[in-house]
Every structure is written in C-alpha cells, then in structure tokens.
Amino acid sequence: MTKKKTNPRRPLVAGNWKMHRTASDTRALIQDIVKRVERVAYADLVVCPPFTSLPAAHETLGRHSTLALGAQTMHQAKEGAFTGEISGPMLREFGVRYVILGHSERRQFDNETNEKVAAKAIAAIHYHLRPIVCVGETLSQREANETTAIVESQLRESLTGFPLDQHEELVIAYEPVWAIGTGKVATPAQANEVHERIRKILIQIFGDHGTAIRILYGGSVKPENAPDLMAQPEIDGALVGGASLDARAFFDIIEAVRPARASDHD
Ligand code: 13P
C-alpha cells in the first residue's frame, strides 16, 4: 500500500472538463460530484466546465462551498473588441474562482504563449481569480533531454510581472504533454523530479513563500495511479482531464490526496 505523506500544503484537485458536457448534462454531473464530496474537508476541489456550462454549474452548486468553479482560460482585458473571448469580470459573475492558464492544448491550438499567460495571470489576480498556470514538455523535448529547460522557461516567462505578494493565489500545474489523454502517465519519480525543479524556481521567484505554492500533476491521472502520484512529497494535488467527467473516478482521485492522520502512522 502507498504510504501517505504529511504535506504542509493543502491539497487541491481540479477537474478540467475540456470541451465536454452541455449545460443540461452539467447539472447531473455537478449533482453527482457534490453528493460524493460533501464531507471532504481536507482538500480544495475545483471543476472547470466549458464556458457555456458555467451558469448551469453555478446554479446547481447554489451556496454549496465544497466545490469551487474554474474556467479553462480567459482574456486579460476587462472588455473590448475581442471576438470569441471571455473576461475575468464575466467569469466572476458566475461564481468562478479559478482559471486554468497556458494549458498545453491552448498553447498548441490557440497560440496561448508564455507572454499571454503572463498577462492573463496578472489580470486573473486583478479580477480575484486564482490562476492555475500550466507547464510541461512534449515527448520530443523529453527525449532530447530538454524537460528542465522547457519547464523552467515556461514557468519564468509565464510568471513575468506576477505580483509577488499574491503568491497565495497562485497554483502551478505540471502536465507533460505526452501524458495528456494518452493513458501514458509519468512515473511518480519522474513527476516528482520535475516538481522539485519547479519548487526551486518558485523559491527563486517568491523567496520562502515559494514553498507554500501548490504544484499539481496532470496527465492521465486515474484512480489506479493517483495514490502513488499523490504520495510524492512535491505533488500537492491533481489536474484531472478525462477521469474528472466520471464522478466516481473523480472522487476516488480526491480520496488519494487525503492527508495522513495520526492513527495512520506505524
Ligand atoms: P487527461 O487526464 O485526460 O490526460 O488530461 C489531463 C489534462 O490535460 C488536464 O488538464
């Protein structure tokens, strides 16, 4: 059995629904998740449905506070001639508290560059949204031994100008591109090694406060592999794609971040 760790950082599990679930399907899924997570007090829980499902999710959640809402991206401006875009204040209106930025799918298909991510992260803070900034290497970059350099430059450039006193609002997600939606998961040791590197950079940027910033792992997280991944000292939670669309699987992953209790020790 995986030995659970005692981690000073509060775990966070976020479900990235990507382009799945209409507004009407959203209600049922949110209800199912809420029913299961009602008593979870040991972690912050977030679901990130598509924009069009946010109002339904918000309405279904009502005053329920165990589950927070997140968006999958946002535009940095408050408003303007930006066809197809959604701003921070628009998200806030539907109770959104978190926003994923720089997801590899948006970096790949929608030109969400480090520079844009940096501007969006600053705007997110301005509009009281917690940015979940994603970084991660492709398979060819890993094979060329470029993982550290890529992750480091993505992180530094995506956090350029980030207000240093807002470290508590920031969440980082390490998502190796080759592990996303492929069923290929990074080994716990591989993931932890990159998380350690990210931690060092966060400490360089934020000083001691860098030790308190949560770093999530994402990429084919499933109930079967979550306990081993989440037991790693530098993995503070998960950013879950496919498995977050199944309330039971999502809940099982959440269980994997439950901190050790005194009675669990030998
Ligand atoms: P999968 O869990 O489906 O691999 O997706 C991971 C992801 O991209 C979460 O943002």
Q: How confident is the model over 208-231, as pLDDT tens digits?
A: 999 999 999 999 999 999 999 999
Q: How confident is the model over 5-52, as pLDDT tens digits?
A: 567 899 999 999 999 999 999 999 999 999 999 999 999 999 999 999
Cα–Cα distance for residue pair 258/192, rounded to 1 Å: 18
pTM of the model: 0.95
Protein residue whose Cα sits closest to atom 9 of ligand 1: 241
Task: Return the ligand 1 atom nearest residue 180 CA.
Answer: 4
- The alpha carbon of 35 and the centre of ligand 1 are apart by a number of angstroms equal to 23
Tell me the chain's radius of gyration from C-alpha atoms.
17
What single letter denotes the amino acid at residue 122? I
- Give the per-residue pLDDT at 38: 92
Q: If we measure between CA atoms, which residue out of 49, 86, 52 comes closest to residue 69?
A: 49
Cβ < 6 A, ligand 1 pocket: 16, 103, 175, 180-181, 218-221, 239-243
Ligand 1, pocket-test mutation among 221, 224, 225, 250, most atoms within 8 A of CB: 221
CB under 8 Å, gap of 24 or more: what pairs does 26-31 form? Answer: 26/53, 26/56, 26/57, 26/60, 27/56, 27/57, 27/59, 27/60, 29/245, 29/247, 30/56, 30/57, 30/60, 30/61, 30/67, 31/60
- The alpha carbon of 208 and the centre of ligand 1 are apart by a number of angstroms equal to 30
Question: For residues 94, 121, 192 and 244, what is the CA-based torsion angle, rounded to 10 degrees?
Answer: 20
- The per-residue pLDDT of the chain, averaged, comes to 94
- Give the per-residue pLDDT at 266: 42
Task: Return the ligand 1 atom nearest residue 222 CA.
Answer: 2
List, by residue number, the catalytic residues. 103, 175
Half-sphere exposure of 227 (CA within 13 A, CB side): 9
- The alpha carbon of 105 and the centre of ligand 1 are apart by a number of angstroms equal to 10
For domain 12-265, which CATH number applies: 3.10.20.30, 3.20.20.70, 3.30.2010.10, 3.90.550.10?
3.20.20.70
Give the count of beta carbons closer than 10 Å to the beta carbon of residue 108: 11
- Give the per-residue pLDDT at 4: 56
Protein residue whose Cα sits closest to atom 2 of ligand 1: 241
Q: If we measure between CA atoms, which residue out of 80, 71, 79 comes closest to residue 99?
A: 71
Cα–Cα distance for residue pair 212/224, rounded to 1 Å: 27
In this prediction, residue 181 has a pLDDT band, given cuts at 50, 70 and 90, of: confident
Determine the average pLDDT of the residues in 163-191: 94
- Give the per-residue pLDDT at 194: 97
Whether the Cβ atoms of residue 235 and residue 262 lie closer than 8 Å to each other: no
In this prediction, residue 265 has a pLDDT band, given cuts at 50, 70 and 90, of: very low
- The alpha carbon of 106 and the centre of ligand 1 are apart by a number of angstroms equal to 13
